[in-house]
Amino acid sequence: MKNKTLLITGGAGFIGSALVRHLIEITDYRVVNLDKLTYAGNLESLGPVSSNDRYVFEQVDICNAAEVARVFREHRPDAIMHLAAESHVDRSIDGPAAFIETNVTGTCVLLEAARAYWNELPEAEKTQFRFHHISTDEVYGSLGAEGLFSETSPYQPNSPYSASKASSDHMVRAWHETYGLPALITNCSNNYGPCQFPEKLVPLIILNALAGKPLPIYGKGDQIRDWLYVDDHARALLRVLETGRSGETYNIGGHNEKTNLEVVKTLCAILDQKRPDHPGGIGRYEELITHVTDRPGHDQRYAIDASKIEQELGWMPEETFESGMTKTVDWYLNNATWCQRVLDGSYRGERLGVIE
């Protein structure tokens, strides 16, 4: 009996590469990684599994309908997990068109390729097939001081990025309702962990601190996010794929609501312990904190109600905020070469998303 095949789009990205590593190391699935390899895609993140005979890489843009159809024909996936997306909010402010192209048009191309492929499957395989769309809690907009996002929260996206992801969520739901395509959607909170592109808060703070550079915090730093360790997210995604109900949405959160300022101070404290030889004669890394003009349309608070996935599917995060952040700092300290190669590319740690 052949191993089941999973098609992972965006498998060279941050969350995608964590998922691919998890699938190869923990399961017996055959994994086809379809990735365009933009600035945020990095095959080095897949080094531990790249030589495994159950792993295949296809460099393909999800907007290329002919190539996507070829991948379906050649690899015959039993399910697809769709993570390919433009995902950096600041970049969406600078250039929203790329987000519409990839996140909206690309998802449409993928859905149509999946539908054509699914329609031709034998009945038993049609029933088992799944299209799992991985999305974000940012589609729900901004919360006040109280309350949590649930699977029934209204969509109120406030950035070009979240608007494009909201659109892709709606399309997946529509393809399920209109065509019967067996689909699931997951909306997750802020991920952090190894191999994250350094535009994001956690790696940017770690790398800037080690270099003695300012640690930029938007506004007062009082924006609240729920923080989810990326390996916990990978476990949740697999659980949803294997045991979630078709047509359902599942919110995935880490039970770790922290302000951005709390996150930065936590990272500084961990670095004080692990790298006490501070750069530039400072006494503590916290001294590098610099408050900068807030991001346009910056949502104040996100918080996830993850009770549905916990009660229905039995998933819970394994990492606490402190253990996950410590593991993350350790990874960046031990993988300086990976970091340097990323920073040698087009991104230099500059501020993005400033409206002139």
Catalytic positions, written as ranges:
137-138, 161
Interstrand relation of 30-35 and 5-9 (parallel, antiparallel or unpaired): parallel
DSSP codes joined into one string, 284-334: -GGGGEEEEPPPTT---B--B--HHHHHHH-------HHHHHHHHHHHHHH
Spatial CA neighbour of 235 closest among 254, 248, 222, 216:
254
Residues 265, 289: Cα–Cα separation, whole Å: 9
User: What is the arrangement of strands in the sheet containing 5-9, beginning at the earlier edge strand?
Assistant: 55-59, 30-35, 5-9, 79-82, 130-136, 183-188, 249-252
Count helices and strands in the chain by DSSP H and E runs = 13, 12
Opening angle at CA 82, ends 80 and 87, nearest 5? 170
CA 292 from centre of chain:
25
Token pair of 269 as six digits = 């404290």
Radius of gyration of the chain, Cα coordinates, nearest whole angstrom: 20
State residue 96 phi and psi, 5-degree precision: -70, -25
**CA contacts within 13 A on the Cβ side of 108:** 7
- Closest to 116 measured CA to CA, from 172, 178, 69, 80: 69
In this structure, how many other beta carbons lie within 10 angstroms of the beta carbon of residue 222?
13
> d(Cα 349, Cα 142) in Å, to the nearest integer?
27
6, 58, 217, 230, 297 from 93: Cα distances, Å: 33, 30, 18, 25, 10
- Structure tokens, 34: 């379809």
